[in-house]
Protein backbone atom coordinates (compact mmCIF):
# COMPACT_ATOMS: atom_id res chain seq x y z
CA UNK A 1 0.00 0.00 0.00
CA UNK A 2 2.82 2.36 -0.81
CA UNK A 3 0.60 4.84 -2.55
CA UNK A 4 -1.45 5.71 0.56
CA UNK A 5 -0.30 9.10 1.89
CA UNK A 6 -3.06 10.06 4.30
CA UNK A 7 -5.34 8.18 6.63
CA UNK A 8 -8.58 10.06 7.26
CA UNK A 9 -10.59 8.83 10.23
CA UNK A 10 -14.25 8.84 10.92
CA UNK A 11 -14.51 9.78 14.61
CA UNK A 12 -17.86 9.05 16.34
CA UNK A 13 -17.92 5.29 16.92
CA UNK A 14 -14.65 4.67 15.07
CA UNK A 15 -12.19 6.61 17.26
CA UNK A 16 -14.34 7.27 20.31
CA UNK A 17 -17.08 5.43 22.19
CA UNK A 18 -19.99 7.87 21.94
CA UNK A 19 -22.51 5.47 23.48
CA UNK A 20 -20.52 4.66 26.60
CA UNK A 21 -19.42 8.27 27.06
CA UNK A 22 -22.88 9.80 26.72
CA UNK A 23 -24.23 7.14 29.08
CA UNK A 24 -21.50 8.06 31.57
CA UNK A 25 -22.34 11.79 31.32
CA UNK A 26 -26.07 11.18 31.73
CA UNK A 27 -25.43 8.98 34.76
CA UNK A 28 -23.06 11.54 36.29
CA UNK A 29 -25.76 14.21 36.46
CA UNK A 30 -28.39 11.74 37.72
CA UNK A 31 -30.73 12.48 34.87
CA UNK A 32 -33.83 10.40 35.61
CA UNK A 33 -33.81 8.52 32.30
CA UNK A 34 -32.52 5.19 30.95
CA UNK A 35 -28.98 6.29 30.02
CA UNK A 36 -28.66 3.61 27.34
CA UNK A 37 -31.91 4.64 25.63
CA UNK A 38 -31.08 8.34 26.04
CA UNK A 39 -27.68 7.94 24.35
CA UNK A 40 -29.22 5.96 21.50
CA UNK A 41 -32.00 8.53 21.01
CA UNK A 42 -29.56 11.43 20.94
CA UNK A 43 -27.44 9.70 18.34
CA UNK A 44 -30.49 8.62 16.31
CA UNK A 45 -31.36 12.26 15.77
CA UNK A 46 -27.97 12.93 14.20
CA UNK A 47 -28.43 11.71 10.62
CA UNK A 48 -31.89 13.30 10.16
CA UNK A 49 -30.55 16.59 11.54
CA UNK A 50 -27.67 16.64 9.06
CA UNK A 51 -30.15 15.76 6.33
CA UNK A 52 -32.08 18.95 7.17
CA UNK A 53 -28.87 20.89 6.51
CA UNK A 54 -27.91 19.07 3.33
CA UNK A 55 -31.45 19.38 1.90
CA UNK A 56 -31.27 23.13 2.38
CA UNK A 57 -34.06 23.24 4.98
CA UNK A 58 -31.47 24.57 7.44
CA UNK A 59 -28.53 26.78 6.48
CA UNK A 60 -25.05 25.58 7.42
CA UNK A 61 -25.35 24.41 11.03
CA UNK A 62 -22.57 22.89 13.10
CA UNK A 63 -22.95 19.59 14.92
CA UNK A 64 -22.84 21.37 18.28
CA UNK A 65 -25.99 23.21 17.29
CA UNK A 66 -27.62 20.13 15.77
CA UNK A 67 -26.84 18.18 18.95
CA UNK A 68 -28.57 20.93 20.92
CA UNK A 69 -31.67 20.85 18.72
CA UNK A 70 -31.87 17.07 19.19
CA UNK A 71 -31.19 17.36 22.92
CA UNK A 72 -34.10 19.73 23.39
CA UNK A 73 -36.35 17.27 21.54
CA UNK A 74 -35.29 14.19 23.50
CA UNK A 75 -35.35 15.94 26.88
CA UNK A 76 -39.02 16.61 26.13
CA UNK A 77 -39.58 13.05 24.85
CA UNK A 78 -37.99 11.60 27.99
CA UNK A 79 -40.01 13.92 30.22
CA UNK A 80 -37.04 15.91 31.56
CA UNK A 81 -37.98 19.51 32.23
CA UNK A 82 -35.90 20.60 35.22
CA UNK A 83 -32.56 21.36 33.52
CA UNK A 84 -31.40 24.97 33.48
CA UNK A 85 -30.05 26.54 30.30
CA UNK A 86 -26.56 26.30 31.76
CA UNK A 87 -27.00 22.59 32.48
CA UNK A 88 -28.23 21.96 28.96
CA UNK A 89 -25.23 23.79 27.49
CA UNK A 90 -22.95 21.68 29.68
CA UNK A 91 -24.68 18.41 28.80
CA UNK A 92 -24.50 19.27 25.10
CA UNK A 93 -20.73 19.56 25.46
CA UNK A 94 -20.65 15.87 26.46
CA UNK A 95 -19.89 15.25 22.77
CA UNK A 96 -16.58 17.13 23.26
CA UNK A 97 -15.69 14.69 26.05
CA UNK A 98 -16.10 11.31 24.37
CA UNK A 99 -13.64 8.63 25.48
CA UNK A 100 -11.38 6.85 23.00
CA UNK A 101 -11.59 3.08 22.53
CA UNK A 102 -8.83 1.24 24.44
CA UNK A 103 -6.70 0.75 21.29
CA UNK A 104 -7.20 4.25 19.88
CA UNK A 105 -4.27 6.28 21.21
CA UNK A 106 -1.67 3.56 20.75
CA UNK A 107 -3.05 2.59 17.35
CA UNK A 108 -3.13 6.18 16.07
CA UNK A 109 0.38 6.77 17.37
CA UNK A 110 1.66 3.73 15.46
CA UNK A 111 -0.18 4.72 12.29
CA UNK A 112 1.07 8.31 12.61
CA UNK A 113 4.67 7.12 12.38
CA UNK A 114 4.04 6.03 8.78
CA UNK A 115 1.20 8.22 7.52
CA UNK A 116 -0.30 11.63 7.98
CA UNK A 117 -3.39 11.04 10.10
CA UNK A 118 -6.35 13.39 10.12
CA UNK A 119 -9.97 13.39 11.14
CA UNK A 120 -12.71 13.42 8.56
CA UNK A 121 -15.69 13.83 10.82
CA UNK A 122 -19.02 15.56 10.71
CA UNK A 123 -18.16 16.93 14.14
CA UNK A 124 -17.21 20.60 14.22
CA UNK A 125 -13.62 21.77 14.62
CA UNK A 126 -13.92 22.84 18.26
CA UNK A 127 -15.60 19.56 19.22
CA UNK A 128 -12.83 17.55 17.56
CA UNK A 129 -10.10 19.76 19.04
CA UNK A 130 -11.47 19.60 22.58
CA UNK A 131 -11.91 15.83 22.24
CA UNK A 132 -8.36 15.35 20.96
CA UNK A 133 -6.86 17.48 23.72
CA UNK A 134 -8.76 15.65 26.45
CA UNK A 135 -8.17 12.16 25.08
CA UNK A 136 -4.63 12.68 23.76
CA UNK A 137 -5.48 11.90 20.14
CA UNK A 138 -2.32 12.68 18.15
CA UNK A 139 -3.87 14.05 14.93
CA UNK A 140 -1.59 15.66 12.40
CA UNK A 141 -4.54 17.74 11.27
CA UNK A 142 -8.20 18.16 12.14
CA UNK A 143 -10.43 18.18 9.09
CA UNK A 144 -14.16 18.43 9.48
CA UNK A 145 -17.38 18.85 7.57
CA UNK A 146 -17.11 22.39 8.91
CA UNK A 147 -14.10 23.02 6.66
CA UNK A 148 -15.86 21.72 3.55
CA UNK A 149 -19.33 23.02 4.48
CA UNK A 150 -20.83 19.65 3.62
CA UNK A 151 -21.66 16.60 5.69
CA UNK A 152 -20.57 13.06 4.89
CA UNK A 153 -21.52 11.18 2.80
CA UNK A 154 -21.38 14.18 0.43
CA UNK A 155 -18.48 13.73 -2.05
CA UNK A 156 -17.10 17.20 -1.22
CA UNK A 157 -15.92 15.82 2.12
CA UNK A 158 -13.97 12.79 0.84
CA UNK A 159 -12.64 14.62 -2.19
CA UNK A 160 -11.97 17.62 0.04
CA UNK A 161 -9.30 15.68 1.93
CA UNK A 162 -7.54 14.74 -1.30
CA UNK A 163 -7.76 18.30 -2.61
CA UNK A 164 -6.51 19.81 0.63
CA UNK A 165 -3.37 17.69 0.40
CA UNK A 166 -2.96 17.85 -3.39
CA UNK A 167 -3.45 14.10 -3.66
CA UNK A 168 -5.32 11.75 -5.93
CA UNK A 169 -8.39 10.24 -4.19
CA UNK A 170 -6.67 6.84 -4.28
CA UNK A 171 -3.83 8.20 -2.13
CA UNK A 172 -6.28 8.80 0.74
CA UNK A 173 -7.71 6.01 2.88
CA UNK A 174 -10.86 6.45 4.95
CA UNK A 175 -10.82 4.49 8.20
CA UNK A 176 -14.30 3.97 9.61
CA UNK A 177 -16.57 1.61 11.50
CA UNK A 178 -19.51 2.29 9.19
CA UNK A 179 -20.08 0.66 5.83
CA UNK A 180 -22.17 3.49 4.37
CA UNK A 181 -19.37 5.98 5.06
CA UNK A 182 -16.80 3.66 3.49
CA UNK A 183 -19.00 2.94 0.47
CA UNK A 184 -19.43 6.66 -0.23
CA UNK A 185 -15.67 7.19 0.08
CA UNK A 186 -15.01 4.29 -2.27
CA UNK A 187 -17.34 5.81 -4.86
CA UNK A 188 -15.11 8.89 -4.77
CA UNK A 189 -12.05 6.75 -5.41
CA UNK A 190 -10.66 6.60 -1.88
CA UNK A 191 -9.18 3.48 -0.33
CA UNK A 192 -11.11 2.14 2.66
CA UNK A 193 -10.43 0.32 5.92
CA UNK A 194 -13.23 -1.05 8.09
CA UNK A 195 -12.70 -1.17 11.85
CA UNK A 196 -14.76 -3.52 14.00
CA UNK A 197 -16.49 -1.68 16.82
CA UNK A 198 -19.03 -4.27 18.04
CA UNK A 199 -19.79 -2.22 21.15
CA UNK A 200 -20.57 1.03 19.32
CA UNK A 201 -24.22 0.91 20.44
CA UNK A 202 -23.44 -0.53 23.86
CA UNK A 203 -23.23 -4.03 25.28
CA UNK A 204 -26.99 -4.53 24.92
CA UNK A 205 -26.93 -3.90 21.18
CA UNK A 206 -23.95 -5.75 19.73
CA UNK A 207 -23.22 -4.61 16.19
CA UNK A 208 -22.60 -7.07 13.36
CA UNK A 209 -19.02 -6.45 12.31
CA UNK A 210 -18.72 -9.13 9.64
CA UNK A 211 -16.50 -8.25 6.68
CA UNK A 212 -18.18 -6.69 3.66
CA UNK A 213 -16.74 -6.92 0.18
CA UNK A 214 -15.04 -3.88 -1.27
CA UNK A 215 -12.91 -2.64 1.61
CA UNK A 216 -9.14 -2.70 1.19
CA UNK A 217 -8.67 -3.58 4.85
CA UNK A 218 -10.79 -5.09 7.62
CA UNK A 219 -9.29 -4.75 11.09
CA UNK A 220 -10.34 -5.53 14.65
CA UNK A 221 -8.65 -2.38 15.99
CA UNK A 222 -6.28 0.45 15.01
CA UNK A 223 -3.40 -1.62 16.33
CA UNK A 224 -4.47 -4.51 14.13
CA UNK A 225 -4.64 -2.10 11.17
CA UNK A 226 -1.11 -0.85 11.93
CA UNK A 227 0.13 -4.45 12.06
CA UNK A 228 -1.59 -5.25 8.74
CA UNK A 229 0.12 -2.23 7.14
CA UNK A 230 3.48 -3.34 8.47
CA UNK A 231 3.21 -6.85 7.13
CA UNK A 232 1.17 -5.92 4.04
**Candidate segments 22-30, 48-56, 73-81, 143-151, binder of its own copies by CB under 8 A:** 143-151
Q: Is 143 in the site for its own copies (CB under 8 A)?
A: yes
For residue 153, say if its preceding peptide bond is cis, omega within 30 degrees of 0: yes
- Does position 126 interact with its own copies (CB under 8 A)? The reply is yes
List the beta bridge partners of residue 121. 144
Minimum distance of its own copies from residue 100's CB (angstroms): 16
CA gap 214, 217 in Å, rounded: 9
Contact 116, 4 (CB under 8 A): no
For its own copies, the closer CB: 24 or 112: 112
Span interacting with its own copies, options 16-24, 162-170, 200-208, 216-224, rule CB under 8 A = 162-170
One of 37, 54, 69, 141 touching its own copies (CB under 8 A) = 141
Told to check if 133 binds its own copies by CB under 8 A, we report yes
Scan residues 64-93 and list those touching its own copies (CB under 8 A): 64
User: Which CB atom, from 118 or from 177, has the smaller least distance to its own copies?
Assistant: 118
**Torsion 42-44-49-54 (CA) sign:** positive
Residue choice 61, 129, 220, 221 for contact with its own copies (CB under 8 A): 129
Q: Is 164 in the site for its own copies (CB under 8 A)?
A: yes
| Nearest in space to 175 (alpha carbons), one of 189, 192, 163 | 192
| 228 binding its own copies? (CB under 8 A) | no
Indicate whether 159 belongs to the interface with its own copies (CB under 8 A). no
- Residues ≥6 apart with Cβ < 8 Å to 38: 22, 23, 26, 31, 74, 78
Residues 38-67 that bind its own copies (CB under 8 A): 64
* Contact call for residue 156 and its own copies (CB under 8 A): no
Candidates 69, 125, 199, 209: give the one binding its own copies (CB under 8 A).
125
> Which residues of the shown chain bind its own copies in the complex (CB under 8 A)?
64, 116, 118, 124-126, 128-130, 132-133, 140-143, 146-147, 164-166
Amino acid sequence: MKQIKILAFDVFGTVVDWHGSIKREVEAINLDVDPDAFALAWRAGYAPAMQRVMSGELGWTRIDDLHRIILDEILQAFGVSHLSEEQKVELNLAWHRLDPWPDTVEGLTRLKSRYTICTLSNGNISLLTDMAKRAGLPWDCILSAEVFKAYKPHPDTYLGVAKTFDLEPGEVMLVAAHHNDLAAARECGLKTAYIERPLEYGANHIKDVSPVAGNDFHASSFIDLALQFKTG
